[in-house]
Amino acid sequence: MGISKQIETTMENSSMIRKMFEEGDRRRQLYGEENVFDFSIGNPIFEPPPEVQQNLLKLVQSNEKGTHRYMPNSGYPATRQYLAKMLATDSGLSFSENDIIMTVGAGGALNVIFKTLLNPGDEVIVFRPYFMEYNAYVGNYAGSVCAVDTKDDFRLDFNALKKGITAKTKAVLINSPNNPTGVVYTSDELDQLGNILREKSAEFGQPISLISDEPYRKIVYEEPAPSVFPHYENSIVATSYSKDLAMPGERIGYIAISPKHQDHQLLNGGAVLSLRILGFVNAPALMQRLLPLVGDVCVDLKPYQTNRDILYNHLTEIGFTCVKPGGAFYLFPKCPIEDDLAFIEAAQELNLLLVPGSGFGMPGYFRLSYCFETEMIERSLPVFTKLAQQYQLTD
Ligand SMILES: Cc1ncc(COP(=O)(O)O)c(C=O)c1O
């Protein structure tokens, strides 16, 4: 075959997920859209808040010249000033526009960060279970992901972290609120994490960056998700508006580098260059101009919270074990059997589409997304009960 061996192998490895999507489509055609309960993807079906459309209309109708041209690679100064002000209030640190680089979503931000940071052979520590795209993003720059365990309740396991850090560790990557567990790390946890990274940076004589992937930061139910910046100086945030404005297709996000990062200047210059030479050039202009206009708006969290409560209560009532998520829109229950792939297939036979924990580096679990209409979720409950009965979890 005439394509890259690495891509060919990755395609083969991801064929399981692809097969699952194909099976979902086959079932929708066979049994009708309304009889297939698809909990597999984190693509919100809700529309962006009305402020998004209102302000986009104003922007496209404006006669201001030059708004579709190239701009500084890091993005429009006005947008970055707006974000710097917001981050300063949020973290108590003195952010300026020079600490912000606008990106093509959080995925684009992470690629720019890894391109900037990694030498071949460098390691990035992640906590299992984790978003599998991290393997590809780190691998793109010849780095490797080193996954360490979390505790039973998916909270950070600091002993595992300490053992995982070596002279090759360039960064630790966290994601809170978490995909797939919904766990939100507390200020105490971030403090402990910061202390360990400080100690280990000193031990190995090089700064270990903390990269915080935060596209779900505003999607929280009981407690807010604290900023990482006050807890560790060598922090870098990668984030986007894909989830909180429900517009993942518009691909707008940013990188924020702590003004206290030891390699602050170098990182900033490197990231701007990386953004350009990766071919992103700059983040979408229209979306950059939208951000200061919509301010702090967020999708309505009520439907998500309702969905979380309905599903969490039902699944635990019928015998599944599950950590109650504090944010994002995913649940990550334990499978009643070890073989998560066999369990997912059994669910599929009932037209229930779930994602195996293996897809997050954690076999024996499954993920379901709940960014869908509550009505669909309510209709699916008897099907979950039937599934639990098959495994004698409930009568
Ligand atoms: C944990 C996590 N990080 C990053 C991304 C990528 O987000 P974006 O659409 O902003 O690139 C996602 C998307 O689902 C995600 O779940």
pLDDT tens sequence across 262-296: 999 999 999 999 999 999 999 999 999 999 999 99
Domain boundaries, the chain: 5-48+301-390, 66-294
CATH topology for 5-48+301-390? Aspartate Aminotransferase, domain 1 (3.90.1150)
Provide the mean pLDDT of the chain: 95
Residue with tokens 């990755």: 10
Whether residue 15 is predicted with pLDDT greater than 80 in this model: the reply is no
**How do residues 221-252 score in pLDDT, each as one tens digit?**
999 999 999 999 999 999 999 999 999 999 99
Closest-lying ligand 1 atom to the alpha carbon of residue 178: 1
Q: Which residues contact 102 (CB under 8 A, 6 or more apart)?
A: 74, 75, 76, 79, 80, 252, 253, 254, 282, 283, 288
What is the pLDDT averaged over residues 61-66?
A: 95
pLDDT at 395: 81
Select from 130, 132, 133, 370 the residue to mutate for testing ligand 1; criterion: most ligand atoms less than 8 Å from CB: 133
What is the pLDDT averaged over residues 304-331?
A: 98
Select from 104, 213, 247, 252 the residue to mutate for testing ligand 1; criterion: most ligand atoms less than 8 Å from CB: 213
Ligand 1 centre distance from Cα of residue 394 (Å): 35
Ligand 1 centre distance from Cα of residue 264 (Å): 25
Secondary element (H or E) of residue 123: strand 123-128
Residues of the chain with pLDDT > 90, as a percent, come to 90
**How do residues 21-54 score in pLDDT, each as one tens digit?**
788 889 999 999 899 999 988 888 899 999 999 9
CATH topology for 66-294? Aspartate Aminotransferase; domain 2 (3.40.640)
Secondary element (H or E) of residue 367: strand 366-369
Whether residue 19 is predicted with pLDDT greater than 80 in this model: the reply is no
Closest-lying ligand 1 atom to the alpha carbon of residue 241: 10
| Banded model confidence at residue 148, pLDDT cuts 50, 70, 90 | very high
| Banded model confidence at residue 17, pLDDT cuts 50, 70, 90 | low
What is the pLDDT averaged over residues 310-315?
A: 98
Closest-lying ligand 1 atom to the alpha carbon of residue 175: 1
pLDDT at 1: 64
pLDDT-wise least confident of 13-27, 90-104, 358-372, 378-392: 13-27
Ligand 1 centre distance from Cα of residue 214 (Å): 8
pLDDT at 47: 95
Ligand 1 centre distance from Cα of residue 62 (Å): 31
State if residue 227 touches ligand 1 by the CB under 6 angstroms criterion.
no
Ligand 1 centre distance from Cα of residue 133 (Å): 9
Secondary element (H or E) of residue 235: strand 235-240
- DSSP letters of 165-230? --TTEEEEEEESS-TTT-----HHHHHHHHHHHHHHHHHHTSPPEEEEE-TTTT-BSSS----SGG
Whether residue 212 is predicted with pLDDT greater than 90 in this model: the reply is yes
